[in-house]
Structure 1
């Protein structure tokens, strides 16, 4: 299977997290972008501050690679206004896809109204600008029952609020890759969690992010029904190698 059209090639580390300078970090972003162009991956997923320059890079060589960015990353506890402002700036910079981190801590505390308002307002902003919108639920922070519940809410709210033709542009995404787990537990996509997401998010598509470390795992995810895979090792996976990275 040619998995390249499913891959969101990802680099989201800040300079402070990688031990690089700001200039070196942008060099990593450019390297990721050129690799995506050369290998025809579906999308590059980068921080908002790089969207405009990366979009220009891709446009300059007439590539079809899309540009995605993260909103409210990575804790998800930004206010709704802050997330919408960040998303609007990314739209103005030419982004193709917006990956919002839902306020999963608010969800866990039972503030469903806030989560609903965030989901609907953020999705409206993206769809009005003809963008794909993804909602990161951070499965490592949730129990199986909470994963079921939030996916069901997203599905219900989408069907109540948006047109059927828009459903394919509203993803539910598993993970940021930055959540700190204990005892070596996975912080990215797992097969059991993805199965729950697929069952309860319908008719919305699912993106598996983090934790997909081999070509065979990627193929299995796709065969399960996943429409997109976020990875920092897109080239290795596409060449049937194994990822040594945590995301």
Structure 2
């Protein structure tokens, strides 16, 4: 695949709790250079990211995590976080599903948790991605989580936070894609957590992902153009994104 086509699928991610304003400036400069889909940051960094990318806001979006990374915050807190993020310039939200509730089979509660965030940030102005945290779920729970997210009007189901166990796998991306395609509401799949090389990224896209979450986006694009850093140079965040 062409490097620019892959770049357009990448949410360029900086979710380290210790990230500085300078880190966000660098993230935005890299996103501007490579035309990544978005920069993905925590709520305190949304205003700075939005300011940095204001002149190209139609080209590079601002994604903000919600209920991150445990997913167990009260629904009202998630909705309030979503409202604030959008008010400060977020164009996309990556919320963490309440996966402990999902594991208990409390699908109605999970549905309403997602729906509250969706209502706080309506489509089509804001894209909503729901992080399942696949490392903590069985195959059947991944199917259920994907279906509930889709029914609650999510734009994407997403594999992982990158802060809790294993990240994206080809198998899980394929499974999530199969579920949302069966429901046929237009929901897509985002692969995140551990996607650090061009080979990883291309594999995820071939498996059915439409978006990639990665802190190694620059290196992924450079690998595709033959200008990569050597593998021993770390480009990942504390979360292993």
TM-based fold match above 0.5: yes
Runs of 4+ in 1 over 4 A off after TM superposition: 60-63
- Alignment equivalent of 2:80, drawn from 70, 82, 85: 85
Structure 2 partner of 1:175: 160
1:150 Cα deviation from its structure 2 partner: 1.4
CA contact (8 A) 1:91 1:129 kept: no
Structure 1 partner of 2:137: 142
Segment of structure 1 superposing worse, 26-35 or 170-179: 26-35
1:198 aligned to 2:177? yes
CA contact (8 A) 2:94 2:131 kept: yes
Structure 2 partner of 1:165: none
Are residues 116 and 236 of structure 1, via their aligned partners in 2, closer, same or farther at CA, if it must alter by over 3 Å?
Answer: same
- Alignment equivalent of 1:230, drawn from 213, 216, 221: 213
Structure 2 partner of 1:45: 40
For 1:70-149, list aligned pairs within 5 A: 70-128=65-123, 130-149=125-144
Structure 1 partner of 2:196: 213
Runs of 5+ in structure 2 lacking a partner?
none
Distance of 2:82 and 2:197 partners within structure 1: 32
* 1:210-243 deviation line (CA, Å, top 9, x unaligned): 1212212211211222110000000000111458
2:72 aligned counterpart, secondary structure:
coil
1:51 Cα deviation from its structure 2 partner: 0.7
Runs of 5+ in structure 1 lacking a partner?
16-23, 163-168, 182-186
Distance of 2:57 and 2:13 partners within structure 1: 21
TM-score of the superposition, structure 2-length normalised? 0.86
Structure 2 partner of 1:184: none
Over the aligned positions, Cα root-mean-square deviation in angstroms equals 1.9
CA contact (8 A) 1:7 1:43 kept: yes
CA contact (8 A) 2:110 2:148 kept: no
1:62 Cα deviation from its structure 2 partner: 6.8
Are residues 198 and 88 of structure 1, via their aligned partners in 2, closer, same or farther at CA, if it must alter by over 3 Å?
Answer: same
Q: How many residues matched? A: 223
